[in-house]
Amino acid sequence: MQTSDPSWWRGATLYQIYPRSFADSNGDGIGDLPGLTAKLDYVADLGVDGIWLSPFFASPQRDFGYDVSDHYAIDPMFGTMADFDALIAEAHALGLRVVIDQVWSHTAIEHAWFQESRQNRTNPKADWYVWADPLLDGSCPTNWQSWMGGATWTWEPRRGQYYLHNFLPQMPDLNFHCPQVQEAILDIGRFWLDRGVDGFRLDTVNYYFHDKSLRNNPPKPGDSPATMQRHVYNICRPENLPFLKEIRALLDDFPGSFVVGEIGSDDNLARMIEYTAGTDHLHTAYSFQLLSDRADPAHFRDAMQPWTHGAGARAWPSWALSNHDCERVASRWKLDAPTHQVAEFALALIVSLRGTIFVYQGEELGLSQAELAFEDLRDPLGIANWPANKGRDGCRTIMPWAHGQALMGFSSTTPWLPIVEAHRDHSVDLQSQNPTSVLAFAKHAIALRRASSALRLGDFQVIYEDLACLIFSRTAGESTCLAGFNFSSETQSISNFHRGYLRPDLTVGAVQIDPDRIILGPVSAFIVSPQLPFE
């Protein structure tokens, strides 16, 4: 583990890798650890501080690794423990930190813990999962609804009880009210930290505890059973906070390590602050706050303001605009501009935000969401909800490495998801040769953030806002940056608040900065460092 700067994660840029779709070394159509390791020089060349790896552990792959059957084992489709050790060594040699997913709220039904727990009510692991008796009429113990569809309870005839699952029925929830479960989870974390990882991304970190009294969730307006209730009793329980302190204490035993939690709740920003405030909870957390369809000034101002005062000033956020669970931002944001311009606009925005940021693989290439036929889907969410919800496969298609190769340099055989021909012209080899490509822009934007203490660590202050534009400053000591964004399809003219000519360090679209006016074309952006001398 690299320990030269224990606060390296503050303001860092991390690159999310979805291993199944990154690079296949053995020709089975599925990305793997050796393939990933061979591409780490590309990742390092982006200028990022580290990588976040989605799960590669032993799993039946119903939810593509987020259903773990052995937390200590590498799934053979991804390689071996020796392959993982080689990945860690190469990443560290290239100056990259390695953060790995940890899925602790639930397991796969194949996990040895669940196989023992389900047998009866008296075995040593009888209380390791959430079990409950049926109501008098035989129905489920609560009204809680799963995000994967249906009730959160499934009947187990061996015990004559229901077990809880907030996701697929084959993904039972662990009972964190059981001290032995907490100990076992911390042991897993210590194992991987001893192995050399630099930290964890904790999947669904606000799902660890449930209400022991099994109270029903209250109703609220929504368009599906899961959104028609306020999830106040199956998730986000106050008992979570003491266990987060146990996790932080474990990380503190490994100087330089850090932990980021994923949060999905009815109040994402409040939970993010609650889970990261002070020095004894999570280092940082991200949520689905910026993974929605909204792309307007008020949305981003509202996301930033809570971190400027009170508990928020003692907390640290993380942000992502794309990931493996949502539509790619270049397609999701319905801005009136070509896809490549929307991609650059999003990159400019995220590198200017206060917090730690995540760039999802392919985001630096300007990849759009893939449109797949129903028969090509692999995601159980999409298969169950088609066509109202097409699932997550469209953001998980393979990385396009080589324009001229039939399988775009990903594999020597048909990949697990179809080739997306629309991505061929976005390939790494083509963009690497083009100084005006989205890839070149991404490298420039990441380098600008890395070189600026204002962008990495500075405070956030809105300078100008209306329905179309947002201009804000980032300041850390003597370092200052100014960032401006026009989300609209119309040219906007705004007073130059610095009353002088400012040369942008980065621009998207048509930007003109005169001594008295800032003129922003449709879907345009700029970042400028006013304190720098200009030629």
CA atoms within 13 A on the CB side of 276: 30
Which CA distances in Å does 419 have to 63, 383, 405, 416? 21, 19, 11, 9
pLDDT at 1 over 90: no
pLDDT at residue 532 greater than cutoff 50: no
Chain mean pLDDT for the chain: 96
Q: What percent of the chain is modeled with pLDDT above 90?
A: 93
Give the span between the Cα atoms of 398 and 407, in whole angstroms.
9
Residue 3 pLDDT: 52
Q: Which tens digit of pLDDT belongs to each residue from 226-249?
A: 999 999 999 999 999 999 999 999
Q: DSSP characters for 288-343?
A: STTSSS--SHHHHHHHHGGGGSGGGGGS-BEEES--TTS--HHHHS--SS-HHHHH
Question: One of 75, 83, 156, 262 is an active-site residue; which one?
Answer: 262
Q: Tell me if 509 sits within 8 A of 524, measured CB to CB.
A: yes
Over residues 32-46, the pLDDT tens digits come to 999 999 999 999 999
d(CA 47, CA 439): 12
Question: Residue 412 in 3-state DSSP?
Answer: coil
**φ and ψ at 449, to 5 degrees?**
-65, -45
pLDDT of residue 116: 98
Structural domains in the chain, CATH included, are 13-107+177-448 (3.20.20.80), 459-528 (2.60.40.1180)
Could you count the other beta carbons within 10 Å of the beta carbon of residue 317? 25
266 among known catalytic residues: no
Q: What is the DSSP string of 217-236?
A: PPB---SSGGGGB--SSSSS
**Whether 394 contacts 21, CB under 8 Å:** no
CA gap 244, 252 in Å, rounded: 12
Length in residues, the chain: 535
The pLDDT of 422-450, averaged and rounded, is 98
Of the candidates 63, 67, 101, 203, the residue annotated as catalytic is 203
Q: What angle do CA 519, 525, 527 make, to 5 degrees?
A: 100
Catalytic site includes residue 364: no
- DSSP annotation of 533 reads -
Contact call for residues 396 and 324 (beta carbons, < 8 A)? yes
What percent of the chain has pLDDT above 70? 98
Whether pLDDT at 531 is above 60: no
